[in-house]
Amino acid sequence: MKATIFVDVVDPWAYIGATRFERAAAMFSILTGEPVELTLRAFQIEPESPTDGRRLMDAAADELGGLDKAELINVQVTAAARITGIDLNFDEAVQANSFDAWRLLTWADEAGPGFQRDLAHQLWRAHFLEGADIGDHFTLATRAALVGLELETAEALLASNEYADEVRTQVETGAALEIAQLPYVVVEKQWTLAGVHSQNDYVQALTQIHRDWKAAGPPDQ
């Protein structure tokens, strides 16, 4: 089965949900013998966000109407992340626009199995734990190199407008789907799962989708 996961690398809930879904897909494959091919696609939660190095907590406080409100939400997110085995450090995180990160992730998807997923997790970790600016081209290129992609190619890509149209198309597709919660999973272009769920719930959903998919048979040509 093929699953497309709309996420953003500057959204902690997308990070948590995508991680749970990836683990659920692996467990489902072990239980059923049915592989699940995962592809990440862009859905920018703040497409106009500047990459200015400002502390994420300060930006969130302005948006939510106070630091106390931002801290309350972060406590909830951090607790959900901890249950998932993810460490977050909002005190270090800085504001960033994810558009260039998505250009790099789109290229990584074409580079071979596993590169895109590994790079996405590198960027999530860099953004939410290490305080790195993932809107910065040097940061992006070095993270690409860490997962085995060629540094010089990544630098050249980021210096150009390559894959910009592809990312815009991904974002437009997400808008057409009226996505309101991340992650947003589309299985075999038909079944959808919105928002963060438990790993067990994802496994159960995939199991039911698999039954329905098999019962429906191959699509009409």
Is pLDDT of 172 > 50? yes
Mean pLDDT of 147-174: 98
Is pLDDT of 216 > 80? yes
Domain count, the chain: 1
What is the pLDDT, as a whole number, of residue 11?
Answer: 97
Is pLDDT of 220 > 60? no
DSSP-derived secondary structure for 87-129: ---TTT-B----HHHHHHHHHHHHH-TTHHHHHHHHHHHHHHT
Q: Would residue 32 count as lying in a domain? A: yes
Q: Would residue 221 count as lying in a domain? A: no
Q: Among 203, 206, 195, 158, which Cα is nearest to 43's?
A: 195
Q: Would residue 40 count as lying in a domain? A: yes
Q: Would residue 147 count as lying in a domain? A: yes
* CATH number of 76's domain: 3.40.30.10
Model confidence, pTM:
0.94
Q: Which range marks the domain in which residue 166 is found? A: 2-216
What is the pLDDT, as a whole number, of residue 219?
Answer: 61
pLDDT per residue over 56-106, tens digit each? 888 888 888 888 887 888 899 999 999 999 999 998 899 999 999 999 999
